[in-house]
Structure 1
Amino acid sequence: MAYQALYRVWRSQRFDDVVGQKAITQTLKNAIDQNQISHAYLFTGPRGTGKTSAAKIFAKAINCPNQVNGEPCNECDMCRSITAGTQEDVIEIDAASNNGVEEIRFIRDRANYAPTQAEYKVYIIDEVHMLSTGAFNALLKTLEEPRKNVVFILATTEPHKIPATIISRTQRFDFKRINTQDIVGHLETVLTTSEINYEAEALQIIARAAEGGMRDALSITDQAIAFSDGTVTTQDALEVTGSLSYEMMDRLMQACGEKEVADALATLRELLASGKEARRLLENLLVYCRDLLMYQQAPQLLSEKSLQLTEAFQTLAKITPPAKIYHWITVLNDTQNEVRFTNNPTIYLEVAVVKLANDPESAAVASNSADNSQEVAQLRQALQKLQAEVQRLQENRPTGAVAETTAPVKKTKATTTFRLPKERVFQVLKSATKKDLANVRNVWDDLLMSLSVTQRAMLHSSEAKAASESGVVIAFDYEILCQRASNDQEFQLMIHNQLSRMIKDYAPQAVFITKESWPTLRQEFLAGGQATEESEIEVEQEETEAAPVEPENDDLVTKAQELFGELTSIEEN
């Protein structure tokens, strides 16, 4: 017989065999035992956590004539045919390669017919998030009007890509990442049953490398068995996973702790030269620093790892201040994010090691100094521009003509490439209410925190000026940000989704304008007689913005006064 991979041989055949998902399996068993079977289920979670296995076990259990306490017997013809994949009433579909409307319509048509052999006709759709929009719409019709004795089980690793209308018509079960110790326990069972020798520490390394996925753990174990010479050793596991041993990490972090930058960089290059992968290296160092902190604060929690805690590790944990460990974790975490998007991870790793070998205080001082230097440079540049502008005005105009120069300056400033969405603003103002505006402003801080860092920075210099049932007018301090927001469809969709989530029965479309244009737009709307009795536009103290600008308030003159103080004099004709 041809060789079968461990993850296929040891695929769960009973709910009790599914590792690390006790709450889910017990719920499904109870539902089967009490005959409370829903027409649709959604299994979500990371890869290799048992979603598809649980779906097939569920299909066997509801159709098994000999099921006991929700568990299939796995001995009858029905169970065997489902396990072998030959039962025509249990259909398993890969949505990644069958994601069109026609495929789903075919499933919908077949679902109208009663099962031929089994009690329930079961459709298991894996990677369901890959379906097209049309396919989801076709599937929705079937879920809205389910046929008797037809069960849909949808499995996905990316539930956020599934329409809410589909999710709301299913029972959702979220499979979590499997605990490291649960993975180790299952691997011990597998290797012991297979009569393969192993070292306990090797299983710990494999389990950590699997990142919560049992299928990945079994695949790595398969590689380690093939690589080993009869016994799966710690060194075999390190070689196969590309992980670091505690001795390697001891050397690197000890050099960082002693501020030996040259030794730390030499150790890093030695590790990279031996074939260690950058992402795995950073992950191992993060776990190592976490273990240092845990050993300091709660050593009893690391008792299961006592075989790995070397004397050098224990010494380093005793002499390293917690603040320094926090600094190490922050540096490693930031570097892990940076390495993800670069083709030259070695550079980032070397920079990270230099940071690790420096005190957090000195690193903070260096960072602040860099920030201050950048601000000083920007201020100097702005000062030079203003000085040049004032000098040009003085050369081109006779004495006393400062006030007259304000007109062309303002005209140049008013020139803009941004086109105000006047009609859309007026559409919002027609049905604007103070209640809707108050609701938006009440959740404004929460809205900012729900956005990404870049989106938050863009929206931070803005303010909601008016809101209706279908729209919200957002005014930006700067035209460039307004232009950028208007062209960013993802940003607009995020605001729409977050406001609809935070405010009940409210899903507005955002309209972006500049704060400078708001008084004019509002005045034009009111003067045009477009306001209805229902529209409630909040009147703010903005008369100064709409009033004619006196020469003394001109931006250029004001900045000149700030720069030159008493040396500046304003003369009028």
Structure 2
Amino acid sequence: MAYQALYRVYRPQTFHDLAGQQHIAQTLQNALTKQQFSHAYLFTGPRGTGKTSAAKIFAKAINCEHAPVAEPCNECAACRGITSGSIADVIEIDAASNNGVDEIRDIRDKVKYAPSEVRYKVYIIDEVHMLSTGAFNALLKTLEEPPEHAVFILATTEPQKIPLTIISRCQQFDFRRIPSSEIFERLHFVVQNQKIDAEDEALQLIAKASEGGLRDALSVLDQTAAYSEGTMTVQDVLDVTGMVSDQMIRELIEALEASDAAHAVSKTGELLDQGKDPLRLIEQMIFYYRDLLLYRTSPDLEDLLTRPHIDDAFREQAKTVAVQRLFHVISEMNGTFNEMKRTNHPRILLEMGIVRLCEPEDVPEQTTQPGSTVHNGELEKRIALLEQQMKKWSAAPEAMPRLETQAEPNRPRTPRRNSGLRIATTQINHVLDEATKEELRELRSVWAKVMTKVRAENVAAHAWMLESQPVASSTQGFVQAFKYDFHCQMVMENKNNIMELVQTIVQDVTKKQKVMYPVPEDTWTKMKNAFIERSQSTQEESSEKKEEDPIIAEAKKLVGPDLIDIKD
């Protein structure tokens, strides 16, 4: 028989063999023994955590000749046939390559037929999130009310892509990442069973590199066993996985903490020239600093560290690095890691990040004048002399020198005005020409409502408009007088679209489209007085014209006013 990969040979055949998924195994076993299992299940979780294996174990358990049982016997014809894949009533479908509506319709048409070899028809649809929208819709009704002899088990690594209408029709089980300790125990069992000579540290490193996936761990073990000659060592695992040894990472971290950028970049270049992946390298550095942070926080967290064991060098290094420094480095490296994943030149970004971390974080401010050379010793002497002098002055206040200042004459303080305001004089005068008391009274009656809406829309705009009020209004516009010049300036500059907001709200409240013209109160007073004087002079002229005799007026038009002498 041809050689089989280790992950196929040691695929779990019972719920007891499922590593790290005891919560799921117990739930399914209780449902099996009580004969209360559902017609549809959804298994979600990362790759290599046992989703498809659990589905096949469940299919064997419900079809076992000794059912109801908590574990399949793996000895009867049904169990052996399902394990080998020779029973046609247990159908495994890869949704990645069978994701169309026609394939799901074929399932829907055939599911109504009773099974021919075992008690239940079981459909195991792997990577179900790859189904198209039409395929999901075709599966809905069948999944909700399948025949009594049919069970559906859906498996996926991306449950967020599955419609909620599908999820609501299934019992969902979330498979967790398998702890490194359980992966190590499983690897230890495999190497003993396969008679592979391997160091425990090498197996621990494989468990760490698998990131919670037992299938990945078995694949790395298989590959490393083929690579190594004799005993499988840590170096063999490092060569196969592309990881860097803890000793090399420690030396690189020491260079970073010593702010030795040249040595740190040189060490990084040496590792990359050996074929190490830049992304894998910075990821290991992040986890190394994370271990330093957890150990520095509490040595009791040793079980949570990613490294196989804690040595004296690691303990000493954890004592020398400050906690704030660890926070800073992890944050900076994580940002660099994200940038490296989006570039074609990750090595450059890695070297930039290392140089940045070697620079001092806090630069003291310069307290002396440029060119001065006050050393710490001289500064301490000056401080001591000042303290002695202060003690003398506190004991004898009359000895304290008095500063003679020449009193400046009191000058009248003129209020500051913003001369940069550009008042729309022409438009305001036009508004005044057409303004009426009725329009102003109407606008003022609803102004409180306008300000309430302004506050609800924009608190800052309400603050600028609070010390202002409408002073004149026509059908086309209104004049808004501001108590403070600065508030008027902010509104005139239309910060945050204040004018547009106020005009929109005024139109909404009054049902009239009006333009607002901001003006400071003192400017408004002058403009109002000028308008009144102009209006009075215009009225006097018009009244004079009305009182003039029409015959005299006609005579002025004919010969001119200079040649006419009017006598009573």
Q: Report the TM-score, using the length of structure 1 for normalisation.
A: 0.66
Could you tell me how far 1:96 is from its partner in structure 2?
Answer: 0.5
Q: How far apart are the structure 1 equivalents of 2:219 and 2:351?
A: 32
Counterpart in the other structure of 1:265: 265
Once residues 299 and 247 of structure 2 are traced to their aligned partners in structure 1, the CA distance between those partners, rounded to angstroms, is: 19
**Aligned counterparts, 1:150-549, within 5 A:** 150-302=150-302, 308-361=309-362, 402-403=422-423, 548-549=516-517
Q: Counterpart amino acid of 1:356?
A: L
Structure 1: how far apart are the matches of 2:33 and 2:186? 27
Given that 2:424 and 2:517 are in contact with CA atoms closer than 8 Å, whether structure 1 keeps it comes out as no
Structure number, greater radius of gyration: 2
- TM-score (structure 2 length as normaliser): 0.66
How big is the shift at 1:144?
Answer: 2.3
Q: Where in structure 2 are the equivalents of 1:67-146 lying within 5 Å? A: 67=67, 69-146=69-146
Letter in 1 for 2:72: P
Cα drift, residue 123 of structure 1: 0.4
- Compare 349-358 and 136-145 and name the one that shifted more: 349-358
Contact 1:286 1:332 in 2 (8 A): yes
Q: 2: CA distance between counterparts of 1:246 and 1:258? A: 18
Q: Aligned partners of 2:505, 2:420: CA distance in 1, in Å?
A: 36
Contact 1:205 1:243 in 2 (8 A): no
Give me the identity figure in percent.
51
Distance between the aligned counterparts of 2:420 and 2:289, measured in 1? Answer: 69
Gaps of 5+ in 2: 367-418, 428-454, 462-496, 522-529, 535-568
1:48 aligns with 2:16: no
Following TM superposition, by how much is the alpha carbon of 1:337 offset from its aligned partner in structure 2, in angstroms?
Answer: 1.4
Name the SS of the counterpart of 1:355 in structure 2.
Answer: helix
Cα distance, 1:360–1:12 mapped onto 2, change above 3 Å:
farther
What SS class does the counterpart of residue 93 from structure 2 fall into? strand
**1:94 offset after TM fit, Å?**
0.4
Q: Deviations over 1:277-308 (max 9, x none)?
A: 11211221122112222332332443798864
SS in 1 for 2:154: strand
The aligned residue for residue 442 of structure 1 is none
Query: Post-superposition shift, 1:336?
Result: 1.7
* Structure 1 residues 249 and 160: alpha-carbon distance in aligned structure 2, compared to 1, 3 A threshold: same
Unaligned runs of 5+ in 1: 366-398, 408-462, 466-473, 478-513, 529-542, 554-570
Q: 1:56 to 1:523 in 2, by over 3 A?
A: farther
Cα distance in 1, alignment partners of residues 82 and 220 from structure 2: 28
Q: 1:515 and 1:196, CA in 2 relative to 1: closer, same or farther beyond 3 A?
A: farther
The 1:45–1:306 alpha-carbon spacing in structure 2 relative to 1, beyond 3 Å, is: closer
How many angstroms apart in 1 are the aligned matches of 2:188 and 2:320? 36
Q: Distance in 1 between matches of 2:73 and 2:64?
A: 7
Q: Distance in 2 between matches of 1:141 and 1:247?
A: 59
- Aligned equivalent of 1:538: none
Q: 1:67 to 1:356 in 2, by over 3 A?
A: farther
Say which SS state the counterpart of residue 122 (structure 1) adopts: strand
CA offsets, 1:318-351, max 9 Å, x none?
2111211222211222222111111111111112
Output the CA distance in 2 between the equivalents of 1:286 and 1:29: 40
For residues 519 and 136 of structure 1, the distance between their equivalents in structure 2, rounded to whole angstroms, comes to 51
Residue 82 to residue 402, structure 1, CA distance change in 2 (3 Å): same
Deviation at 1:309, TM superposition (A): 3.4
The size of the alignment, in residue pairs, is 411
Asked if structure 2 preserves the Cα contact closer than 8 Å seen for 1:67 and 1:73, the reply is no
Task: Find the counterpart in structure 2 of residue 458 from structure 1.
Answer: none
Other structure's SS at 2:252 match:
helix
Distance 1:225 1:526, change over 3 A: same
The Cα of 1:552 is off from its aligned counterpart by 6.0
Residue 314 of structure 1: CA displacement?
A: 2.4
